Amino acid sequence: MSLIYVLNGPNLNLLGKRQPHIYGHETLADVEASCRRLASELGHELRFHQSNREYEIIDWIHEARENGAGIVINPAAFTHTSLAILDALNTFEGPVIEIHISNVHKRESFRHHSFVSHRADGVIAGLGTEGYQLGIRRVATMLKTPKND
């Protein structure tokens, strides 16, 4: 059994209330519950966090360096601004999947660039909150697969 971190950036605490036409009606607690179900089905442990503060996300990535096997991250607006989160992810050796609930490429041009994508092994965007499930599944697959496959 390995430990997967699911990390969420700013304003995602308002999921379900915030711009539901873009982000849907599910709350972050709903997303957490479905992530926990899936992780346990796949035989993995899960840490699920959200913060509006960049340093807390960096600290969780450092924690994952010590005890985590993979990271699924929706950095929210920090995606487009945070070299510090990219640097932190570059210190982590396991699989990293970046997810966005909305299709950032269909939106404003300032959402088209992602610092985190420079490190992510895969990026999921525009598949709604299902992206979290897909991200966890991909991390689980990568954890089973030797690095050179």
Residue stretches of the annotated binding site for substrate: 74, 80, 87, 101-102, 111
Q: Name the segment binding ligand DQA (CB under 6 A); options: 34-42, 60-68, 84-92, 98-106.
A: 98-106
Cβ(79)–Cβ(12) under 8 Å? no
Query: Applying CB under 6 A, which of residues 39, 89, 100, 136 lies at the interface with ligand DQA?
Result: 100
Nearer to ligand DQA, 100 or 119 (CB): 100
Cβ(100)–Cβ(126) under 8 Å? yes
Beta-bridge mates of residue 97: 72, 122
Q: Reading across the β-sheet that carries 70-74, which strands appear in turn?
A: 45-50, 3-8, 70-74, 96-100, 122-125
- For the purposes of burial, counting CB atoms within 10 Å of the CB of 118, is it exposed (0-12), middle (13-18) or buried (19 or more)? exposed
100 is catalytic: yes
23 is catalytic: yes
Size of the site for ligand DQA (CB under 6 A): 10
Give contact residues for ligand DQA (rule: CB under 6 A): 11, 74, 76-77, 79, 100-102, 104, 111
Which positions are catalytic?
A: 23, 100
